[in-house]
Amino acid sequence: MNKTFKVSLLISALGLSAPVLADDIQVAVAANFIDVMKQLGESFGEQTGHNVAVSSGATGKLYAQIKNGAPYDIFLAADDARPILLDEEGVAIADTRFTYALGTLVLWSPQDATVDSDLNVLKDQSFNHISIANPKTAPYGRAAQQTLTELEFWDALQPKMVRGENIGQAYQYVYSENAELGFVAKSQVFKNGEYKSGSHWEVPSSMYDPIVQQAVLLKDNQASRDLLDYIRSPEAVKVIESYGYSVNP
């Protein structure tokens, strides 16, 4: 069986349309999902010939860009609020919104002994900086604020807090050790069943509002619809789950 025929069979199995000409698909993706989307985009491109161009940022800022006419075909948000708004405002294509992942918040440090399950690091506050994403624009930042409020540390930690514009920047502050620890997306420090080296505390989901990550179509073209179908395929779901996300059945 030649390679072309194998690819054709795979495209058929996924329910995708084999392209006559390759299309460019512009995807706006929340920062927590950037690595996953790059991997999915590469696989989709190999199977269909389409080119997936990815732009990432805080969900709130991407929403503002879309409202101001940014030329995105698809929006993968880190919440459901902005996709719902785009639906209600008539910006999104009707009946295309769906949940592609459920996110998890983690307190993480690259140092082995910094974070423990008793949260002594937060009780002692023997660190200079703790990183979070901006709660106003980033759903993971809002979840971090809710967690620290629940733990009654929000006010006390204000002098030590550094805010990233999005969860990607919040993670970079910790990864570069400009902050000793920080609240990050599980997907940034977890892959294939294992956490990165360092220390972590997986925040109980009861401490923050569910991080329901939804996708929506912004421009109605077949290539973009095919990509959304691919993101819901068993092959893509397996990749998404490998980064620590849950996916609705």
Distance, CA of 122 to CA of 230 (rounded, Å):
42
Q: Which amino acid, one-letter code, is at 182?
A: G
Residue 19 has pLDDT above 50, yes or no: no
18 CB neighbour count, 10 Å cutoff: 12
User: For residues 153 and 15, which has the higher predicted lDDT (pLDDT)?
Assistant: 153
Q: What confidence tens digit (pLDDT) does each residue in 125-171 have? A: 999 999 999 999 999 999 999 999 999 999 999 999 999 999 999 99
Q: What confidence tens digit (pLDDT) does each residue in 70-116 have? A: 999 999 999 999 999 999 999 999 999 999 999 999 999 999 999 99
Q: What average pLDDT does this structure show over 201-219?
A: 97
pLDDT of residue 79: 97
pLDDT of residue 198: 97
Q: What average pLDDT does this structure show over 55-70?
A: 96
| Residues present in the chain in total | 249
Residue 4 has pLDDT above 80, yes or no: no
Q: What average pLDDT does this structure show over 25-35?
A: 97
Neighbour-count burial of 148, counting CB atoms closer than 10 A to its CB (0-12 exposed, 13-18 middle, 19+ buried) = buried
pLDDT of residue 248: 79
Residue 20 has pLDDT above 80, yes or no: no
pLDDT of residue 183: 98
pLDDT of residue 1: 47
pLDDT of residue 209: 97
Distance, CA of 43 to CA of 57 (rounded, Å):
22
Residue 8 has pLDDT above 50, yes or no: no
Q: What's the mean pLDDT when you consider all of the chain? A: 92
